[in-house]
Amino acid sequence: MSQTPRTLTVGTGSAAREIAILRRSGANPGLFWLGGFRSDMAGSKAEALDAFGADKGLAVTRFDYSGHGVSGGDFLDGTISRWLEEALAVFDTTEGEQIVIGSSMGGWLALLLNQALRQRGIDRVRALVLIAPATDMTRDLMADTFTEAERAALRETGRVEQPSDYSPEPYVLTRALIEDGENHLLFGAPIRTHCPAAILQGGQDTDVPPSHALKLVSHLLADPVTFTLIPDGDHRLSREPDLDLMRQTILKQLQGSS
C-alpha cells in the first residue's frame, strides 16, 4: 500500500523548512530511519526497512532531511545542526520505544540524536543499528582528507566539489557544513549510548573505511556493542544479503527489547 508523506515545519522565519515524513502505523518498538548524506527515504535500505516493519506489524518512521528527497529547503544550507534539529523534531512525533537505524551520516546523527534525547531525560531509544556509521565525518572523512587545492577552494569560495560514485553531480561540501560539524564531534572521549548498539560495516567500503567504524567501536566502552564486518560489502550495503543482515540485526534488537 502506497504512503503519502505528511509534512512538518521545522524552524522559524527564514530558517523554516517543510520536512516530508512517511509513517507506517504499528506496534512498538518502532523503527526510526536516519538516511545518509544526499540519500533519501525512498532508498533501498529505507524501503526494505519499511517492508520489514509491515511484515512484523511494527511502526516505521522515515523522513527526508531538508535539501534531500521531497523535503523543502536548500541542500547547500545543510549542516549537522540543521539536520539534527529535524531528526529531533520528527522523533518527537513518534510514540513509545524506538530502534534507531542510521546509515552513513545517519549513523552519526543517530548517536547525536540519542545523546540529545537522553540529555533531555528521554530514554525511548531502545537500541541503535548503525550501518557504515560516518561518525565525525565533517572532520575525519572530509576536512582531514582535503587536498591543498580543496582547502584553498574552501577558503576562497566557501565550498569544495568532489566527484560522486553515486551521481553525475559532484558532492558539494560547504564551509558552513565543515565548521558546524566541529560542534558535534564525538571522538576523543568515551561515547555512552545507554542502550545496545549494533554496527554493520562493509569491508570494501571506500567512503567510510572499516578502520573508521572500528574507531567508533573503540569509543563505545560502557554499553553493549556488536560489530559485524561484511568482507565483500561496499558502502551502500544494499544487496539482498546485506538487507537480510540488516533485518536480522534489527530482529535481534527487537528480541532483546521484549
Task: Dump pLDDT digits (tens) for 50-96.
Answer: 999 999 999 999 999 999 999 999 999 999 999 999 999 999 999 99
Strands 98-103 vs 27-34: parallel, antiparallel or unpaired = parallel
What are the extents of the domains in the chain? 6-257
Query: Does CATH place domain 6-257 in 3.40.50.1820?
Result: yes
Give yes or no for a contact between 11 and 79, defined as CB atoms under 8 angstroms apart: no
Asked whether the predicted pLDDT for residue 1 surpasses 80, the reply is no
| Per-residue model confidence (pLDDT) at position 2 | 56
Q: How many CB atoms lie within 10 A of CB 229?
A: 14
Asked whether the predicted pLDDT for residue 126 surpasses 50, the reply is yes
Q: What is the mean predicted confidence (pLDDT) over 181-206?
A: 98
How far is it, in rounded angstroms, from Cα 174 to Cα 209? Answer: 22
